[in-house]
């Protein structure tokens, strides 16, 4: 009986048209949010020189940011599953705006940590609720909706370092506050999205109550669902530990090995992040069509040959390989997230918060640990070690094929 109710509800969602205005609005807000967030690692070389920081202290800044952006997310998602709070998106962006202003004028290491914690808090509020709204606006095209949503975020992550190179690196850290205009634009858009989502979230809550709030995939046991979620989290670990070596230390690697300038290193980082944004778009639709398990196989394990080659490459081939790595590896997250949502269809907010939060947390932990490893050895050794992380993708073998089961 429960299975019939769930299938009927899914059928009703598929028949609804994709709400493109909301989907693109939330994607653009994601772009603005992640543009602001990506300014943090982009100004690390400036902070390192101004405050005479070592790699471990740089890693602690990233850890503070990503831990505040991760720990709260599952709790925010679980809370909003039960009590929808659509206007929390605009409130969260207010935290981001405050953090951006504080970091522009921070005069101590402690003030920097406080500033990035505020930005991280805004992110922890934004991601679970916005991912749920993308799910609601999908019209049943869940992979496509998550890819569009993630495309905005990854594009913002790519644009951030480029804007930092053109503005902050050129004119100074105090000019970071001008990016607060982006936060104000996002607050306006998210208020509009909140008005649309308010009624829909209440309707979803009512349908969920009538359907019995089934929390697990109807054709899998709880044990299998939990094991599959654990496998997905391990894959997230491998993906984001490797990505943290790029997002936090790629500029230092290029400067130390090839003696490029800070400005030019930011352009190489932009190329990697732009490729990541493009790869994100393809992951979701391909998962909708061919099955998410196969996309996960390709994106995690398939990138291993390129990561293993990159530490030995010349400057030109380092740039080429980083673009390939960014494109292939980034296609994993939309597929992983929607796969997890399908495993637990009654807990969309909690699952979104868990996976976004875990991804942020692993990125922050990776930055801190890799920073300490770089201080103890060298930045080159870090890239040799991280090159093997995608091989963890072999465990994808044990994931059930939900497309076949459907």
What does the pLDDT average to over 359-373? 82
Q: Which long-range contacts (CB under 8 A, 24 or more apart) does 47-50 make?
A: 47/112, 47/173, 50/173
Query: Is residue 180 packed enough to be buried (19+ CB in 10 Å), middle (13-18) or exposed (0-12)?
Result: middle
Instruction: Give the long-range contacts of residues 210-213, CB within 8 A, separation 24 or more.
Output: 210/5, 211/2, 211/5, 211/6, 211/9, 212/2, 212/5, 213/346
Average pLDDT, the chain: 83
Please state, in angstroms and rounded to a whole number, the distance separating the CA atoms of residues 400 and 398. Answer: 6
Mean pLDDT over 21-42 rounds to 88
The neighbour count for residue 339, using CB atoms within 10 Å, is: 26
d(CA 42, CA 107): 18
131-186 per-position pLDDT tens digit: 888 888 888 788 888 888 988 887 887 788 778 878 877 777 777 788 889 999 99
How far apart CA 4 and CA 335 sit, in angstroms, is 25
Return the pLDDT at 212. Answer: 45
Contact 265, 395 (CB under 8 A): no
Domains of the chain: 14-399 (1.20.1250.20)
Q: Give 329 or 345, the one with higher predicted confidence.
A: 329
Encode pLDDT of 49-58 as tens digits. Answer: 888 888 788 8
Q: Which residues contact 291 (CB under 8 A, 6 or more apart)?
A: 401, 402, 403, 404
Annotate the chain with three-state secondary structure.
CHHHHHHHHHHHHHHCCCCHHHHHHHHHHHHHHHHHHHHHHHCHHHHHHHHCCCHHHHHHHHHHHHHHHHHCHHHHHHHHHHCCCCCHHHHHHHHHHHHHHHHHHCCCHHHHHHHHHHHHHHHHHHHHHHHHHHHHCCCCCHHHHHHHHHHHHHHHHHHHHHHHHHHHHHHCHHHHHHHHHHHHHHHHHHHHHHHHHHHHHHHHHHHHHHCCCCCCCCCCCHHHHHHHHHHHHHHHHHHHHHHHHHHHHHHHHHHHHHCCCHHHHHHHHHHHHHHHHHHHHHHHHHHHHHCHHHHHHHHHHCCHHHHHHHHHCCHHHHHHHHHHHHHHHHCHHHHHHHHHHHHCCCCHHHHHHHHHHHHHHHHHHHHHHHHHHHHHCCHHHHHHHHCCHHHHHHHHHHCCCHHHHC
For the segment 361-390, the average pLDDT, to the nearest whole number, is 87
pLDDT at residue 406 tops 80: no
User: Which of 267, 245, 243, 13 is closest to 159 using CA atoms?
Assistant: 267
pLDDT at 131: 85
Q: At a CB cut-off of 8 Å and minimum separation 6, what does 230 contact?
A: none
Compute φ and ψ for 216, nearest 5 degrees: -130, 160
pLDDT of residue 327: 92
pLDDT tens digits for range 260-311: 888 788 789 888 878 887 888 888 888 888 888 889 988 999 999 999 999 9
**pLDDT tier, 381 (very low <50, low <70, confident <90, very high otherwise):** very high
Count how many residues are written for the chain. 406
């Amino acid at each position: 009986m429960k299975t019939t109710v769930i299938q009927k509800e899914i059928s009703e969602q598929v028949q609804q048209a994709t709400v493109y205005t909301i989907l693109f609005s939330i994607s653009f807000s994601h772009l603005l949010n992640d543009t602001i967030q990506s300014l943090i690692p982009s100004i690390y070389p400036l902070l390192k020189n101004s405050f005479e920081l070592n790699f471990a202290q740089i890693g602690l800044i990233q850890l503070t940011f990503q831990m505040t952006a991760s720990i709260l997310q599952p709790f925010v998602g679980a809370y909003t599953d039960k009590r929808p709070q659509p206007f929390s998106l605009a409130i969260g962006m207010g935290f981001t705006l405050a953090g951006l202003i504080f970091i522009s004028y921070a005069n101590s290491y402690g003030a920097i940590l406080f500033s990035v914690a505020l930005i991280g808090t805004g992110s922890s509020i934004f991601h679970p609720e916005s991912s749920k709204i993308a799910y609601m606006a999908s019209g049943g095209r869940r992979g496509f909706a998550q890819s569009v949503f993630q495309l905005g975020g990854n594009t913002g992550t790519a644009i951030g370092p480029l804007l930092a190179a053109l503005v902050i690196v050129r004119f100074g850290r105090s000019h970071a506050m001008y990016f607060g205009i982006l936060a104000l634009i996002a607050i306006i858009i998210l208020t509009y999205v909140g008005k649309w989502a308010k009624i829909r979230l209440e309707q979803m809550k009512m349908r969920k109550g009538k359907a019995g709030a089934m929390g697990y995939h109807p054709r899998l046991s709880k044990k299998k669902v939990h094991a599959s979620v654990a496998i997905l989290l391990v894959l997230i670990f491998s993906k984001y530990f490797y990505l943290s070596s790029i997002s936090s230390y790629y500029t230092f690697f290029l400067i130390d090995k090839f003696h490029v300038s800070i400005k030019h290193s930011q352009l190489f980082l932009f190329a990697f992040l732009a490729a990541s944004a493009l790869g994100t778009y393809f992951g979701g639709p391909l998962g909708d069509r061919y099955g998410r398990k196969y996309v996960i196989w390709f994106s995690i394990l398939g990138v291993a040959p390129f990561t293993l080659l990159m530490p030995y490459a010349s400057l030109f081939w380092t740039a080429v390989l980083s673009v390939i790595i960014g494109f292939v590896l980034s296609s994993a997250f939309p597929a992983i997230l929607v796969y997890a949502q399908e495993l637990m269809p009654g807990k969309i907010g909690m699952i979104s918060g868990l996976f976004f939060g875990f991804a942020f947390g692993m990125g922050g932990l990776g930055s801190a640990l890799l920073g300490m490893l770089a201080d103890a050895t060298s930045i080159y050794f870090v890239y040799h070690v991280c090159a093997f992380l995608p091989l963890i993708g072999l465990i994808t073998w044990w994931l059930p094929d939900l497309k076949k089961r459907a």
